[in-house]
Amino acid sequence: MFAIVDFGGFQYKVEKDCKVIVNRIENEVGSSFEMGKVLLIDNDGAVKVGAPVIEGAKVTAKVLEHGRGETLVVFKKKRRKGYRVRNGHRQYVTKIQIEEIVG
């Protein structure tokens, strides 16, 4: 059984007990929360598709840890001018674990 959820402006494919890295959320480590925008649920071939969301469906998740993502290198250059700038960026992320999918 898996579900497609819309969380924080991104869509994630989640299953029970899977771990997902999402953009930083303000919940405390160890706390549970619900993701209400469930777009699709597949229960062993029985597919429910929302228009745009499935009414009454929810996904429960638990916050495992907060951290920072991998470094993205931002490189700018203008040819023939001797201009080169190299910067890095690390996004704040949260690791969550899916506990339950209710259809």
The model carries a pTM of: 0.83
SS (H, E, C) the chain: CEEEEEECCEEEEEECCCEEEEECCCCCCCCEEEECCEEEEEECCEEEECCCCCCCCEEEEEEEEEEEEEEEEEEEEECCCCEEEEEEEEEEEEEEEEEEEEC
pLDDT, one tens digit per residue, over 55-66 is: 999 999 999 999
pLDDT, one tens digit per residue, over 11-20 is: 999 999 999 9
pLDDT by 10s per residue, the chain, length 103 = 999 999 999 999 999 999 999 999 999 999 999 998 999 999 988 999 999 999 999 999 999 999 999 999 999 999 999 999 999 999 999 999 999 999 8
